[in-house]
Amino acid sequence: MAVQKDKIIIRGLSKTFYQKNKVVEVLKNINITVKENEFLVLLGPGQCGKTVLLNIMADLDKPTEGEVEFTDGRPEMGNLGIVFQRYALFPWKTVMGNVEVNQKFKGTPKEKRQQAAQKYIELVGLQGFENALPQALSGGMQQRVGIARAYATESDIMLLDEPFGALDAQTRYSMEDEILRMWEQDKRTVIFVTNNVEEAIYLGDRIILLGGHPTGVKKEYVPEMPRPRNYTDVAFLKLRNEIVNNTDLVL
């Protein structure tokens, strides 16, 4: 594989929250380099600071120390593909309305933005549901809307915060395949957060294991198995054991 260039460099990043009478040190000295077009998984237990880290990357929060460098320049606000842990859809907007929303804020003409939105609605397999409201959709379908909305920003960086965490197991497996299919079809730099070790191994080009108190990078793993990976392969199980033995994840 060709050498990929550095896309995002997280340097010496720490985050401490100062509350009324306590200091919460969440992240300490995180150093991660994300390569262009790689599928990077951040794997860590609940409450370890994954969302805090993603929010800092998205410029929704500031680090206490350190920095996040985007080698091609920081994407403009509203121009970063981000999928939130909860679906975060506008309940009064249709599927089309939700997917096109960032372009609408930016003032892209209606026809142009709806054309782009249509492309991503089809990419996530929701054609025919353009006029449906979120309440009429299953959890998996709502999360597809969230993913289409992130893709429709046309950002070449996608931040996904436990996007499948609220889905039932069967839907989760099929969404894992879907997100890989989309990534193959429309290559972007993906940072995918999860607390699920199997999901991390199934998806990742590279897995960054987070842990400790405060949270730091514990170790990095590169699954060598070709895709599609098989949960019951010996190599898969071996890597799973290796990660589990090195983690404070509750499994």
Chain residues 182-201 in contact with ligand ATP, contact rule CB under 6 A: 195
Kindly state whether residue 109 participates in binding ligand ATP, applying the rule CB under 6 A: no
Q: Which residues, numbered 151-170, are part of the site for ligand ATP (CB under 6 A)?
A: 162
Q: Tell me how far apart the alpha carbons of residues 111 and 88 are, in angstroms, rounded to a whole number.
A: 25
Alpha-carbon distance values, 156 to 78, 183, 197 (Å): 13, 11, 26
CB of 61 to ligand ATP, least distance (A): 8
Tokens representing 57 are: 């990357």
Size of the site for ligand ATP (CB under 6 A): 15
- What angle separates helix 139-152 from helix 110-123, to the nearest 10 degrees? 130
Q: Give the helix ranges, DSSP H, for the chain.
A: 50-57, 95-99, 101-106, 110-123, 139-152, 169-185, 197-203, 234-244
Nearer to Mg ion, 50 or 229 (CB): 50
Q: Decide: is 88 part of the binding site for Mg ion (CB under 5 A).
A: no
- Asked if 228 touches ligand ATP (CB under 6 A), the answer is no
Cα 150 to Cα 245: distance, rounded to the nearest angstrom: 35
- Yes or no: say if 222 and 211 are a contact pair by the CB < 8 Å rule: no
Secondary structure of residue 247 in the 3-state scheme: coil
- Which pair of tokens denotes residue 160? 């996904």
Q: By CB under 6 A, what part of segment 15-44 binds ligand ATP?
A: 17, 19, 24, 26, 44
Residues 6+ positions from 247 with CB-CB distance below 8 Å: 43, 45, 197, 209, 211, 218
Indicate which of ligand ATP, Mg ion, none lies near residue 48 (CB less than 5 to 8 Å, by partner kind). Answer: ligand ATP
For residues 66-105, which are near ligand ATP according to CB under 6 A? 85
End-to-end CA distance of the chain: 34
Position among 29, 33, 51, 108 found at the interface with ligand ATP (CB under 6 A): 51
**Is the Cβ of residue 44 or residue 223 nearer to ligand ATP in the bound state?**
44
* 171 makes contact with Mg ion (CB under 5 A): no
50 or 172, CB closer to Mg ion?
50
Residue 64 partner contact from Mg ion, ligand ATP, none using kind-dependent CB cut-offs of 5 to 8 Å: none
Q: Given the complex with Mg ion, which of 29 and 51 has the nearer CB atom?
A: 51
Q: Which stretch binds ligand ATP (CB under 6 A): 6-14, 45-53, 93-101, 173-181?
A: 45-53
**Residue corresponding to tokens 């933005």:** 113
* 37-56 footprint of Mg ion as x/- string (CB under 5 A): -------------xx-----
Q: Is 46 in the site for ligand ATP (CB under 6 A)?
A: yes
Half-sphere exposure of 205 (CA within 13 A, CB side): 16
Binding site for Mg ion (CB under 5 A): 50-51
Binding site for ligand ATP (CB under 6 A): 17, 19, 24, 26, 44, 46-52, 85, 162, 195
